[in-house]
Each structure stands twice: as structure tokens, then as C-alpha cells.
């Protein structure tokens, strides 16, 4: 939306609506954590309230001025710092990242700064990588530590700008880029160029975990017995992908900037709200640290966040001058759902006259790609399939001709459609048989999953289910990309035990010969062992959706 377009401000918050909004938070009391909420008209707070306690150890309620870690909502501020430095002529987002980080490897495909901004770089997400290298939640980490592991990565997970894959590593790199170009800490630059000009006196990037932050709400997690525990602050010296502490009151001043254009100017702000485009021309739904979509037929700009017990969500509807934010010190608050419901309460009359278009389920059906699909007997689908890159697997069982998926402990029925596809009830997960073997059994599947608004696709091939597990897979395995050694063993049931540095053993069930996994439904983790021509184990590949694949070499004992 152009900043000069006059929004429709024909909405008010009535007393009954306030009561209805407050009722959404009725479960958060003086005995529980909770949230702060604010509703904005072009950044001006028109209603704000606090619910629950900021600290369970002290009688301190959450108020609109309470300070929270807003996690990934921070990304738009990192992106704004990059945009301001480009406006100053100090960097170019179309430069290769190695111009600013010569310590990074020359990957097969070039990665630019712009790729980092739009989550299309192919660089693995450090949140998945670091635990594999032995880092624990309670370890303190800096941007420099994270950069070290990014520099160890010898390959990308995909060619840049061919698909979107959310990666926090990109925004850690962007923050480090800001510091190298501006020659001042990210915290200082954001204060001087954004927070101070806008009067955001209660906002800062927290690059030192021991900083005393007045009015900070402590984060909590709910335990299985119904009690609460203080949630530790993992990796909390990192900034860029998160690390911004602010209040819903201060945040309104940032929202107002998209109207006043005080910081950055109109052209720059329009740029930061413009989504990228993939190599094949497909438009993205991610701009400069901002998600872009539609809500009840209106253009929506926003982001969510979650970190160490904190949960947050905000969005703006620029055409209506409407904004809403919820910052919580407890993940179970469900801020994304609540912001939607608040908007639907306040804007009910406007939404009732707005054409909302197709439902998500209708969209999911229309996007299914049916190329090469074969119409097969349902019973021929039964079997075990492993993804071609080894990241995950599917176990399809048969119950009197009715195929179903075994996912963790759940049984998910697969219904054959007239077009030959097999789907669940809502068709967010689609199995397409594309090849059969000489015995008439399905040998290859094309699997499509609807993740958010995007339909992803993987190829799975039939494998022979596991029989006995070979004991020679036990041993130590080393990854130079993780700079870590894993200990691999088998328990008495044939399950695989993997011990990473400073971690307890993880268990993986046998799926097929030399393949172990968890979960299924293309969501789990897969471990595939490799052998040489003599049949000796030489290494393993470890893969999962969040972090891609890693190859570890078996350590030969001398």
C-alpha cells in the first residue's frame, strides 16, 4: 500500500468490544503468566491492557509498559538497519555476502545480502545446527559464535532464490554485517537511527544477557503437572534474528513510522514492505523482516515471534489504519490466534461487507500438482518409503484395502481421489503415486505438503523394511561442518542411540536396512548409513527439515 493513500479509519472500539477483548484473556490471572495487548490507529494506541503476572515470585502485574523479548519480530528492525546503510551508500544488498564476510566459503551458488533478507539463501538455520554441534539451551552464545558455524558449512541446502526456507542464520549475518559496515554495535546503530528518533525509549537490542531491564516480564513455561517454571534464556546474547526488548506502547511508535515516514522516508519504507520474487518469478510472502498476506480481503503486514517462553505477534492492516500487538511471557497464550480474534471483534462490521475470497482449504486443493500421477490399487501403496535425500520417511500401512499413515502414535487415513491422489481430510498432505514396480507395487511417491501458504514437494522411494540391524554401524562419527564427534550405538531393542557432545542419547527407530528415523509424514529426522564396495560402514547422513542434511565420517580406530 502506498504511504500516501488515505486509509479507511471508519472504525471505533466500543465499550462492549473492550469487554469482549478482555474476555479473551480471562484465563490469565494474578496466579499465571500472561500478556500485554495494544490496538493502534496508525500507530496511536487506542486501547491497551495487561493480563496476568510479569513475575510469579512477586506481585507484579503485566501492564502495557511491561518489557518483553519480541523474538523474530525483531527481524524488521535488523532489515531496516540494513536498508538505512544502503541508503547511506555503505552497502549494496545485491553484493555477495563474501564481500563483507571473507571468512565464508565460496559456495557452489552465489549468496547475496538480499537472499539473507528474504530467507532464500539456502544457509542452514543455526537453531537446528548448533544442538547437533553440542550446544545446549543454557549455553551463552554471541553472533561471532554463530558466524563460526556458518563459516564451517561447506554446502547450501538449495540453490539460492529457488525456494523460501526460513533461516535465522540469515538475520544473524545481517546484524553482523551492520556492525562491520557501520563499525558500531547493532544495539548502538538501532538506537541512534531508529529508537531515539522515534522516541522509543524502552526499546533496545539486548546483546548482553546480564543487562538489567526495568519492567521486564520474566518468561515461563508450563510443566506437565500444571505448575510453572522460569524459562531459561538460551543463546540470549545473539541479536539480529531476535533479541529486541520493547513494550506494546513503544512498539506503536514504530507502527506510526509507516505513516509518518520519519525514519527512512517513504521510498525506503515502501521497499521494506515489498516482498521478494523467486528465480522462477514466483512472488514471495516475505519482505524485509515482514510477512505479507491478506486477512479478510485486506492487505496485511506483520510478524510473529517465539523465544525462551516469550511469544508475540503483531500485524497491521494499512488500508484500515489498524494495528494490533500481543507480547506474552508464556508461549501458551497463543498470540497469533488472539490478534486475529481481536481484529475480528473490532472490525466485524467492515469484514462483514468485504469479500474474503476462497478458503485456505479451497486454495490447498487448487494448488495440487497432478503431473505424472498414476491411478493404482489402494493396497499397492502399503510399504516403507524414504525421502531421496534421506531426511525423512513414510510408513504406509493397509487395513483391508484402506491405506493409512503411521505418524508417531497416530493413524491417519489416506483417501484415494478420482484423480489418483491420496489425501487426508483437508488435503494439506497429498501422496501422488508416480511409478510402480514389476509386481504392481507403488515404487515412487511424490509427496506434497502445505506448509503455511506454500506447498512443498519431495520424492520418496520404496525401501525394504528393516529386518535385523547390523551391529557394525556402532562407533564414533565426525563432522567437520559441526566440528563434533557423535557416538553411535544400538540398544537391546535394535533402536539406534546417538549421543552428541553434552547431550543425552537420542533414540531412532529402525525403518529399513541401514536407515533409522523418527516421526514420519516428512516431518521427522532420518539417519542413513553408507557403506563402501566391501560392505564396510564409512559414514552416515543425518537429515531433517529444520537443518537440512549433514554427512559424518566414521572414525577408524587405530
Q: What pLDDT digit, counting tens, does each position of 281-297 carry?
A: 999 999 999 999 999 99
Which among 327, 352, 377 is the end of a domain?
352
Q: Looking at the structure, do residues 434 and 301 belong to the same domain, yes or no? A: no
Q: Looking at the structure, do residues 291 and 383 belong to the same domain, yes or no? A: no
Q: What is the DSSP letter of 101?
A: -
Mean per-residue pLDDT of the chain = 89
* C-alpha grid cell, residue 163: 525456494
Q: Looking at the structure, do residues 396 and 545 belong to the same domain, yes or no? A: no
Q: Domain range spanning residue 493?
A: 471-554
For residues 87-98, average pLDDT: 98
Q: Looking at the structure, do residues 388 and 315 belong to the same domain, yes or no? A: no
Q: Looking at the structure, do residues 143 and 124 belong to the same domain, yes or no? A: yes
Residue 2 lies in a domain: no
Give me the DSSP letters along 396-462.
EEEETTEEEEEETTEEEE-EEPTTS-EE-TTSSEEEEEEEE-TTS-EEEEEEEEEETTEEEEEEEEE
Considering only CA atoms, which of 385, 381, 380, 378 is closest in space to residue 416? 378
Q: What pLDDT digit, counting tens, does each position of 234-248 carry?
A: 557 899 999 999 999
Q: What pLDDT digit, counting tens, does each position of 300-350 carry?
A: 999 999 988 899 999 999 999 999 999 999 988 889 999 999 999 999 999
Whether residue 198 is predicted with pLDDT greater than 70 in this model: the reply is yes
How far apart CA 290 and CA 175 sit, in angstroms, is 16
When divided into structural domains, the chain yields a total of 3
Q: What pLDDT digit, counting tens, does each position of 427-436 carry?
A: 567 899 999 9
Note the pTM of the prediction, 2 decimals: 0.85
Residue 87 lies in a domain: yes
Q: What is the pLDDT of residue 365?
A: 41
**Sign for the pseudo-dihedral over CA of 28, 29, 35, 40:** positive
- Based on C-alpha coordinates, what's the Rg of the chain? 25
Cβ of 105: how many Cβ atoms within 10 Å?
14
Amino acid at each position: 500500500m502506498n504511504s500516501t493513500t488515505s486509509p479507511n479509519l471508519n472504525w471505533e472500539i466500543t465499550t462492549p468490544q473492550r469487554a469482549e477483548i478482555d474476555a479473551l484473556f480471562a484465563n490469565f490471572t494474578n496466579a499465571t503468566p500472561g500478556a500485554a495487548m495494544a490496538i493502534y490507529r496508525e500507530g496511536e494506541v487506542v486501547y491497551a491492557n495487561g493480563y496476568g503476572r510479569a513475575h510469579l515470585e512477586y506481585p507484579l502485574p503485566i501492564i502495557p509498559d511491561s518489557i518483553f523479548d519480541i523474538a523474530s519480530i525483531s527481524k524488521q528492525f535488523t532489515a531496516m538497519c540494513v536498508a538505512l546503510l544502503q541508503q547511506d551508500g555503505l552497502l549494496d544488498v545485491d553484493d555477495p555476502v563474501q564481500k563483507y564476510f571473507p571468512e565464508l566459503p565460496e559456495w557452489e551458488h552465489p549468496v547475496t545480502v538480499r537472499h539473507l533478507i528474504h530467507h532464500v539463501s539456502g544457509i542452514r538455520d543455526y537453531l537446528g545446527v548448533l544442538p547437533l554441534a553440542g550446544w545446549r539451551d543454557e549455553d551463552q552464545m554471541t553472533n561471532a559464535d554463530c558466524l563460526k558455524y556458518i563459516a564451517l558449512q561447506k554446502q547450501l541446502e538449495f540453490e539460492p532464490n529457488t525456494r523460501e526456507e526460513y533461516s535465522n542464520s540469515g538475520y544473524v549475518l545481517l546484524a553482523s554485517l551492520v556492525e562491520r559496515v557501520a563499525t558500531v554495535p547493532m544495539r548502538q546503530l538501532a538506537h541512534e537511527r531508529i529508537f531515539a528518533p522515534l522516541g522509543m525509549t524502552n526499546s533496545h537490542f539486548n546483546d548482553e544477557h546480564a543487562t538489567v531491564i526495568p519492567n521486564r516480564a520474566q518468561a515461563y513455561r508450563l510443566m506437565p503437572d500444571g505448575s510453572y517454571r522460569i524459562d531459561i534464556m538460551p543463546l540470549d546474547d545473539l541479536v539480529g534474528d531476535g533479541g529486541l526488548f520493547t513494550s506494546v506502547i513503544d512498539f506503536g511508535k514504530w507502527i506510526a513510522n509507516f505513516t509518518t515516514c520519519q525514519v527512512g522516508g517513504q521510498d525506503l519504507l515502501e521497499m521494506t514492505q515489498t516482498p521478494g520474487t523467486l528465480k522462477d518469478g514466483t512472488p514471495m510472502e516475505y519482505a524485509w523482516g515482514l510477512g505479507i498476506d491478506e486477512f479478510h480481503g485486506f492487505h496485511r503486514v506483520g510478524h510473529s515471534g517465539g523465544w525462551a517462553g516469550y511469544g508475540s505477534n503483531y500485524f497491521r492492516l494499512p488500508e484500515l489504519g489498524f494495528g494490533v500487538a500481543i507480547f506474552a511471557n508464556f508461549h501458551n497464550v497463543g498470540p497469533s490466534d488472539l490478534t486475529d480474534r481481536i481484529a475480528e471483534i473490532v472490525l466485524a462490521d467492515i469484514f462483514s461487507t468485504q469479500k474474503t475470497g476462497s478458503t485456505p482449504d479451497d486454495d490447498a486443493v487448487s494448488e495440487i500438482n497432478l503431473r505424472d500421477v498414476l491411478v493404482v490399487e489402494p493396497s499397492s501403496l502399503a510399504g516403507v518409503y524414504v525421502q531421496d535425500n534421506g531426511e525423512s520417511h513414510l510408513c504406509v500401512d493397509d487395513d483391508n484395502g484402506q491405506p493409512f499413515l503411521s505418524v508417531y502414535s497416530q493413524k491417519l487415513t489416506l483417501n484415494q481421489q478420482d484423480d489418483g491422489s491420496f489425501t487426508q481430510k483437508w488435503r494439506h498432505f497429498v501422496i501422488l503415486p508416480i511409478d510402480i514396480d514389476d509386481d504392481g507395487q507403488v515404487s515412487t511417491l511424490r509427496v506434497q505438503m502445505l506448509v503455511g501458504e506454500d506447498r512443498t514437494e519431495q520424492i520418496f522411494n520404496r525401501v525394504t523394511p528393516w529386518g535385523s540391524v547390523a551391529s557394525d554401524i556402532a562407533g564414533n562419527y565426525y563432522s567437520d561442518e559441526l566440528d563434533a564427534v557423535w557416538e553411535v550405538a544400538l540398544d537391546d531393542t535394535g533402536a539406534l542411540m546417538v549421543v552428541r557432545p553434552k547431550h543425552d542419547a537420542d533414540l531412532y527407530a529402525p525403518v529399513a536396512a541401514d536407515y533409522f528415523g523418527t516421526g514420519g509424514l516428512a516431518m521427522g529426522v532420518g539417519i542413513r548409513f553408507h557403506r563402501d564396495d566391501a560392505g564396510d560402514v564409512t559414514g552416515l547422513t543425518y537429515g531433517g527439515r529444520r537443518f537440512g542434511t549433514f554427512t559424518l565420517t566414521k572414525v577408524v580406530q587405530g
